[in-house]
Structure 1
């Protein structure tokens, strides 16, 4: 059976615009939250977010290209190029048909529609530019990566709300095992910090109310949690078949061992309160990886910091792992990078690979134990932990649950 390895990674995040910086700031417990600068919040009470800082798209693409595409797509191109460079892969005529792109997004270019609508209302229909449609298309995050890198294998965009970025990694794994490519660029990209989306999330209710204390606002699994902080950014991984990777002497960061997708069939925004769908994804992913539940050491949780998510995820973990859960370590990086929606799963996957390689688990910051959520959270400070296998959770609106199993590579 074809094995699939991760041979390159890229990151644009609120706490670092490359994997090394991202990882070191995770270990340090650094928060990327602050007052919103991407737009004038005026009197809107929802005025904090985890924004990407000091990002120049022209470091990765021509100025003309950057001006015509959404910020999320700029992020996607950047992390794809970082990951390819990290993997030591140059796409040319000899290999371009065997390199695919499976990037993901939850909101796509929704902000481009918002900006164009504002312009149209103010100046009339003739003010709407010819690039609004291609900039707003959800599939731009994959198509533009293909165009900018030259990859001509399978090109697909996954969208599963907050589970999107993880979905693309699982799908990329299956594409390689089916023999449809030798290499897949997989990940997620998102930038939805705008007046419309922040207003919509604020009215819906899942945002933290701690506007006066941005860095301490997001508190996954904590007794005083009250919602998530919006985030943005992108992460990508290079997935490669074992044969192709070993033939070219690639560095192996980690192995994708399997995954599982399930649906709650419960509610368009709320998770199943019993955690049934998530628990089925957990047990199914471990089974598909050829492992036993007792083999799993580490969990990178979805961990949004909302009341409902953290209860449901805790129930799912206890349901799936039983008493073994107390021998594991669990963390949520959303406490530091916020909730980047379609990029969130990919961010956690990159962090999990780094954790397995280095034997360190980044903390869930702002954590005060909740007796009702009695699971072993790595709270407030990074911990040394020698893990062999990790699972990464991503659960999306609409009840879409995605769990991946990653393995350490010892070479």
Structure 2
């Protein structure tokens, strides 16, 4: 990242399986409460996996007009709702005077798969007259950021990213670059996903990456545990307000964290298979630390990808050991996916928000369901209970299908 302007996080918005709003999200994280349950979005009985982390009790009309709530598809609803909460949290008002100085970037990977599937079935059964007129615009991956810009009057650059599970970190990088280049003074950066539809779910079942612990849903996602058997799909949306430090100070805005560094690298091995050496993640970690002008000993906490897939968790562990050396054994590492599942594009933003709250409150969320240690995954995963700890620098990493690794470093704001 270019360092011409310092960038800080001033607002957080969350629509997550474990809570709507940053406070509910955070309280349930530090309580170690799982949001995984039997699927209600559709009948899961034909599938080998019947559990997921759904967003429940979400009322879109609380964040937009009733007309919009009826027309806008679920993944875009998550985006608008989380953006509104982030802006309100930051006390940031977008006006005609500053609209061109605000940008927006949202990411999503499966976009409007739920309604697209319904529209496709209607088309197959009854031809094109049965397809809803809004299908052409609503299914688009660019719909969420478009709705955000329209809803809040954002007239600066808008961008959509889709880089798998790394998306939620990559949107923050894009936003930081916009601010550091002097293009804008603030960015709404977020990601959203609503993948809980039969066809999409069937595709994940087909590649055999989902846990089959249907009888004990809250125990299903168990990163780094010896008996982990796959990930749990999740959904939701998150957003952060990024500002130049000067802008935030001029407004007297509350600052959660400063964005210090970012790294990205690819394995270039296989779309699904993982390079267990973790060499790409090692490169991304070193790049992020160099960008932040920090050393391995400066990292106080890692909010890890930790998706409960055996090879992914092992890849991460090996990379942490290679990047941090003996220091890896003394850095607390935890995975919030043990509680909220894997919401694909939204996961990185949720992790970044959790990291910012960890820095603010000095509490590290646990990795729940860590019951039987894996001798190959032998680091400190903060098992089962939150931990009070002073965190000055937090690292967050994400790993996408296809072998992309993204790493973000946040720092405690200076007084």
Fold shared, TM-score > 0.5 on shorter chain:
yes
Question: Which shifted more, 219-228 or 108-117?
Answer: 108-117
Match runs of 1:189-204 below 5 Å = 189-204=192-207
Question: Alpha carbon RMSD of aligned pairs, Å?
Answer: 1.0
Distance 1:218 1:130 in 2: 39
Question: Are the aligned partners of 1:229 and 1:339 in contact in 2 as well (CA < 8 Å)?
Answer: yes
SS at match of 1:61: coil
Deviation at 1:130, TM superposition (A): 1.4
Deviation at 1:410, TM superposition (A): 4.4
Deviation at 1:123, TM superposition (A): 2.5
* Equivalent residues, number: 411
Paired residue for 2:406?
402
Distance 1:100 1:410 in 2: 25
Paired residue for 2:233?
230
Distance 1:326 1:124 in 2: 60
Q: Which of the residues 102, 111, 114 maps onto 1:111?
A: 114
Paired residue for 2:267?
264
SS at match of 1:397: coil
Match runs of 1:27-176 below 5 Å = 27-176=30-179
Query: Once the two structures are superposed, what CA deviation does each residue of 1:221-245 show, in whole Å capped at 9, x if it has no partner?
Result: 1111011110000111100001111
Question: Are the aligned partners of 2:47 and 2:205 in contact in 1 as well (CA < 8 Å)?
Answer: no
Paired residue for 1:385?
389
Distance 2:8 2:68 in 1: 32
Deviation at 1:119, TM superposition (A): 1.6
Paired residue for 1:320?
323
Question: Are the aligned partners of 1:69 and 1:134 in contact in 2 as well (CA < 8 Å)?
Answer: no
Deviation at 1:43, TM superposition (A): 2.4
Distance 2:45 2:167 in 1: 31
SS at match of 2:239: strand
Length-normalised TM-score, structure 2 = 0.97
Distance 1:202 1:42 in 2: 13
SS at match of 2:89: helix
SS at match of 2:116: helix
Question: Which shifted more, 239-248 or 121-130?
Answer: 121-130
Distance 1:39 1:148 in 2: 30
SS at match of 2:80: helix
SS at match of 2:192: strand
Distance 2:298 2:202 in 1: 43
Deviation at 1:35, TM superposition (A): 0.8
Question: Are the aligned partners of 1:6 and 1:255 in contact in 2 as well (CA < 8 Å)?
Answer: yes
Length-normalised TM-score, structure 1 = 0.98
Question: Which shifted more, 120-129 or 182-191?
Answer: 120-129
Query: Once the two structures are superposed, what CA deviation does each residue of 1:378-409 show, in whole Å capped at 9, x if it has no partner?
Result: 00000111111010011111111110000012
Query: Once the two structures are superposed, what CA deviation does each residue of 1:86-134 show, in whole Å capped at 9, x if it has no partner?
Result: 0001111111111110111121122222111122223322100111121
Question: Are the aligned partners of 1:5 and 1:239 in contact in 2 as well (CA < 8 Å)?
Answer: yes
Question: Which shifted more, 33-42 or 387-396?
Answer: 33-42
Question: Are the aligned partners of 1:394 and 1:402 in contact in 2 as well (CA < 8 Å)?
Answer: yes
Question: Are the aligned partners of 1:299 and 1:390 in contact in 2 as well (CA < 8 Å)?
Answer: yes
Question: Are the aligned partners of 1:182 and 1:240 in contact in 2 as well (CA < 8 Å)?
Answer: yes
Distance 1:297 1:271 in 2: 27
Question: Are the aligned partners of 1:188 and 1:342 in contact in 2 as well (CA < 8 Å)?
Answer: yes
Question: Are the aligned partners of 2:83 and 2:148 in contact in 1 as well (CA < 8 Å)?
Answer: yes
